[in-house]
Amino acid sequence: MFDEVDAQNLSGLVKGGASIYEAAAVEALRRAGAVQPEVLRQFRNALCKHSSGWEEALAVLPVEARGAFREGLVPEVLTVHEARASEIDGAEKLVFRTGDDHLIESVILKPESGRTALCISSQVGCACYCSFCATGLMGFSRNLSVAEILDQVRLVNRRLRGEGRSVRNVVFMGMGEPLLNQAAVFEAAKRLVDPAWFNLSGAHVTISTVGIAPGMRAFAERLPGCRLALSLHSARQEVRERLMPQARSYPLEVLRAALVEAARSGTVMIEYLMLAGVTDGEEDLRALVAFVGDLPVHVNLIPFNSFTGCNLEGSSVAVRQGFADKLKSLGLSVTLRRSLGVDIMAACGQLVQHKLKMD
């Protein structure tokens, strides 16, 4: 399945060879060069687990096989176009260029705990057009391939190698709606937790969704152990529809049923955006409590991060704290999330590349 997905999404994009993630192409090279399976495993480990550069990884192979691998494979399908580091909290935004000259963004988060997290993109732009998210301003261009998703992780790990860091948590919360690119996202997530590839814990891989109910049910079946985050943002149907056009397709009762299924196989979180006068009132709180009910979910309260062209305002710190305290008093598991990278437009809802394609 991976090769079918990857070949379709990378058609015409990767020039000069296959990506390193295309198992069939790599296996053909292994057989042609009489490379032992164990040596191929070491080659893959060098690239995906040890953050090695291309030539460093090739050095693992027998001398007589290196030329064929060098010519038959493309070392990376993304290149770093721009990097910006926050002067406030150490977050770093990377702008990657794809093989067909689209720009996408990933964000490296470096909390004091030392557990580096990476927020990655799954699409070029987004077709969901949520009113609080800058990515929707781009419109939708195309899905990212499995290789383009995984290269965000691999290239960031290589970048972090000199700092003695590596990506511990991957969150699909960058550009795009992951469950509208389900085949590639699920395959990439499986590679991230596969011991033969990136070997991350499933508990450290989170897929976020605006609420694509069929995809949520598929997640429960195909990615047990990984985390699902529902971008709920309002438990009042009419409010949610104003904020998120996709809510018209999947009403709250449908989403809750999908959450029940997902909670049976892994951790489920609810993301809730605090918007002044929109989602932070008493009626909003009661609706959220009723929606959660006895679901074993954790609620993240998210501050709104403004961007040009949006007239929404975030709730004050006092209102956010009061909202959290009331939820906790009613027995809900709640975290007040802190935004990182606000000064470089790298915080939640701020990722956008107005210049979709390079000149």
In order, the DSSP letters of 121-188 are: -SEEE-SS--TT-GGGGG-EEEEPPHHHHHHHHHHHHHHHGGGT----EEEE-SSS-GGGSHHHHHHH
Picking from 35, 20, 10, the residue whose alpha carbon sits closest to that of residue 191 is 20
Q: What is the mean pLDDT of each run of 10 residues along the chain (359 residues)?
A: 44 64 94 96 97 96 96 95 84 93 92 85 93 84 97 96 92 96 98 97 97 96 94 97 95 96 90 96 98 95 84 93 97 86 51 46
For the domain that residue 281 is a member of, what is the CATH number? 3.20.20.70
5 domain residue, yes or no: no
**Same domain assignment for residues 55 and 199:** no
In a domain, 359, yes or no: no
Looking at the structure, do residues 115 and 56 belong to the same domain, yes or no?
no
Q: Is residue 310 assigned to a domain?
A: yes
Do the domain assignments include residue 14? Answer: no
- Torsion angle, alpha carbons of 96, 13, 183, 174, to 10: 10
pTM value?
Answer: 0.90
43 and 116 together in one domain: no
Residue 219's SS3 state is: helix
Q: Which domain holds residue 193?
A: 79-344
Look up residue 357 and give its DSSP letter: B
The pLDDT tens digits for 317-337 are 999 999 999 999 999 999 998
Residues 289 and 310 in one domain: yes
Each residue's pLDDT tens digit, 230-280: 999 999 999 999 999 999 999 999 999 999 999 988 889 999 999 999 999
For residues 111 and 64, membership in a common domain is answered with no
pLDDT of residue 307: 76
Tell which of 74, 90, 105 closes a domain.
Answer: 74
Decide: 42 and 55 in contact? Cβ < 8 Å: no
Q: Are residues 165 and 256 in the same domain?
A: yes
Helix, coil or strand: residue 350: coil
State whether 122 and 33 are in the same domain.
Answer: no
Active site residue ranges? 105, 348
Does 334 share its domain with 240? yes
Are 339 and 190 found together in one domain?
A: yes
Residues 29 and 89 in one domain: no
Last residue of a domain, one of 74, 95, 115: 74
What's the pLDDT at 352? 52
Laid out side by side, the sheet with 297-303 consists of: 79-85, 92-97, 103-109, 117-119, 169-172, 205-209, 227-231, 268-274, 297-303, 333-336
**Alpha-carbon gap, residue 133 to 225, rounded angstroms:** 28
The number of distinct structural domains making up the chain is 2
